[in-house]
Amino acid sequence: MFSSSAAPFDPETDIPSLKDKVIVITGSNGGLGYEALIILGKHSPTKIYLCARSKEKYEKAMEGISAAIPNAAEFVKYRELDLASLSSVQKAANAFLAENDRLDILMNNAGIMAQPPGLTKDGFEIQFGTNHMGHALFTKLLLPVLTKTAAEPNSDVRIVNLTSDVHMLAPKAGFLPGECLTDMSTYSTWTRYGQSKLANILFTTELTRRYPSITSVTTHPGGVATNLLDSFKSNYPYIKMVVNPFWKLLATPASIGAWNQTWAATAPVEGKAWTKSEGKERRKVPEVRNGAYYTPVAKEGGQTKLAKDPELARQLWEWTEEQLRENGY
């Protein structure tokens, strides 16, 4: 668990003004995305898009957000997004593009974990399809506005992709293209999840190579108390009885677990000039390096050999593009 006095980053004081910035956060109706929205929302962005699967989830989230930020309704916007449906992803991206001519921070935060075997609406293994394919299409469709924003003077455009150290449990080959088009029921739920989280890292590697004007990083939040484990615990009630008491004691609250991704979205980028915030010198915090993988908070490194493989990253990118084309995207 972190404290602002011990951590190299304190979101209350170390985030500069986000004036004029437009931000999109997937899965921000709860958990880490919700907390990240509140953290960033306290620094005066022009807009933050709260992406959720339903208007009801947005409205429920806004109760807490408005309590934390009284004027939140003025700049927090709703965007319906179901990452398990490529048509929903396309609709969400098109709606955003119709309303905005800039995007400064894309935080691909949403995800599912420890799901029973299943498929997305487009026939991908449910965890891989949601955590990787949905975000890959969303990012692809938003890249034109991201690169346009990055070309403007004094721009600072970020893509922050959330991953997990569970990527180490991915299959030995890294990712299994043919198997991703099945429910992978012969593999453990953690292997399936690990594959999707490895894909998040590899996708970021190629984003960095192909779009160097954008700062793209992956962040692992650590062991955080969110609802991601609910599906696993509901399917294995005996695990719930054993794990819950210890997890509540050991897990980091989501409000602090969101520090790593909000640091990555706002800290100075390596090689760029240090700036003042509202006329005051900012505390020196670790810089963000394009393409890096970070564990809490702002600690670079720790990914597996597979996650560092540029050839595997290229293969995943090309396979993903092929699948999106075959599905009409």
**Lookup result for tokens 């951590």:** 7
Rounded distance, CA 263 to CA 277, Å?
A: 15
Q: Pick 255 or 325 by higher pLDDT.
A: 325
| Percent of the chain topping pLDDT 90 | 83
Q: Pick 198 or 7 by higher pLDDT.
A: 198
**Would you state the pLDDT for residue 247?**
43
Q: Which fold has domain 11-222+255-326?
A: Rossmann fold (3.40.50)
Rounded distance, CA 150 to CA 158, Å?
A: 9
pLDDT mean over 108-129:
96
pLDDT digits (tens, 9 = 90+) for 201-214: 999 999 999 999 99
**Would you state the pLDDT for residue 255?**
87
pLDDT digits (tens, 9 = 90+) for 171-185: 999 999 999 999 999
**Would you state the pLDDT for residue 271?**
86
Domain spans of the chain, in order of start: 11-222+255-326
Q: Does residue 192 have a pLDDT over 80?
A: yes
pLDDT digits (tens, 9 = 90+) for 244-292: 554 455 668 888 999 999 999 999 999 886 555 554 566 789 999 999 9
Q: Does residue 103 have a pLDDT over 50?
A: yes
Rounded distance, CA 106 to CA 144, Å?
A: 13
Q: Does residue 234 have a pLDDT over 60?
A: no
Rounded distance, CA 265 to CA 36, Å?
A: 10
| SS3 state of residue 108 | strand
pLDDT mean over 230-256:
58
User: Is 271 exposed, middle or buried (CB count within 10 Å of its CB: 0-12, 13-18, 19+)?
Assistant: exposed
Amino acid (one-letter) located at 148: K
Residue 305: CB partners within 8 Å, gap ≥ 6?
Answer: none
| Percent of the chain topping pLDDT 70 | 86
pLDDT mean over 222-231:
62
Q: At what angle do helices 31-41 and 55-68 cross, to 10 degrees?
A: 40
Please give the full DSSP string across 202-238, using - where no structure is assigned.
Answer: HHHHHHHHH-TTSEEEEE---SEESGGGHHHHHH-HH
Provide the β-strand partners of residue 60. none
Rounded distance, CA 250 to CA 315, Å?
A: 38
* pTM greater than 0.85: yes
pLDDT mean over 234-253:
56
pLDDT mean over 105-128:
97
- Residues identified as active-site: 193, 197
